[in-house]
Amino acid sequence: MQLTIPAGLNRSEAETYRRLDPKMLPRHIAIIMDGNGRWARRRHLPRIAGHKAGVEAVRSTVETAARVGISSLTLYAFSRENWQRRPRSEVSFLMTLLRRYLRQEVPTLNQNNIRLGYIGRMWELPKPVQERMEWARQATAQNTGMKLTLALNYSARLELVDAFRSILDAALNNGGIEHLNLDESLVSRHLYTHNLPELDLVIRTSGEMRLSNFLLWQVAYSEIYVTDTLWPDFRGVHLLEAMAEYQKRERRYGGISPEEELTHNGNGRAARRPQPETAGSLR
């Protein structure tokens, strides 16, 4: 059966897509967009030039993800630590760039049937930024395709703090904490990402081997893919290459591989452990 190439892919993207199994695509991909400063420095340009160039990488990646049928894409756009460790002039530029991006990209998001959302402490952002964010969210709310989530003023540690505060507040308003039954499911329901699918794949650009306080709870069983490509050079084809690598991996969720399920019987021959039959396993 011939593979159908999604409309809108360029030649290199189509060639890479042919290596994929459309039935095994990750549902939720998150990207740590890193390398804007190094990209600019290598070209003897100011850091803001790297941030500007990164917008095209966002556009290409988002459109490709939507075209191939990814359910959710989360982009680490601005960490809470950026407030404290970046020059005020750079932070101000990033806020202006975000407002401009949202105004310019809403038509493209609508053309691609993409819904926009956010995670992070949005209430700490400047009011004009919050207003533009809400305008863009409402302008794409009717779309039914991919959910694009921007992590803004985001910290995974503070997400957990906020989740536990929310859990305690709910308990105090519902009979007291002595009735609280705290488990993983309850915590997950109070995270910023409670309405998103489980995280399947995390991509980090620029070659750095760290998570940078990003989705620490959600990443527990995610696959991690690191590329040396700097974010401004990242395009849809690089996303597809990461997905091709993802499909080569065997996700065990703490279990063992089918090969390891084989045990040796008394004759030294390998025999698979019998598995209970379920309706889903019958052929």
Annotated catalytic sites, by residue? 34, 82
Contact indicator for 207, 228 with CB cutoff of 8 Å: yes
Query: What stretch of H or E contains 112?
Result: none
Long-range contacts from 103-108, C-beta under 8 angstroms, 24+ separation: 103/132, 103/136, 105/59, 105/136, 106/136, 106/139, 106/140, 108/59, 108/63
Residue with tokens 């109070």: 190
Residue with tokens 């995270």: 191
Q: Residue 268: which region, alpha, beta or left (left: phi > 0; alpha: psi -120 to 50)?
A: left
Output the DSSP codes for 133-193. HHHHHHHHTT--S-EEEEEEEE-HHHHHHHHHHHHHHHHHTTT-GGG----HHHHHHTSTT
Cβ neighbors of 129 (< 8 A, separation 6 or more) are 95, 98, 99
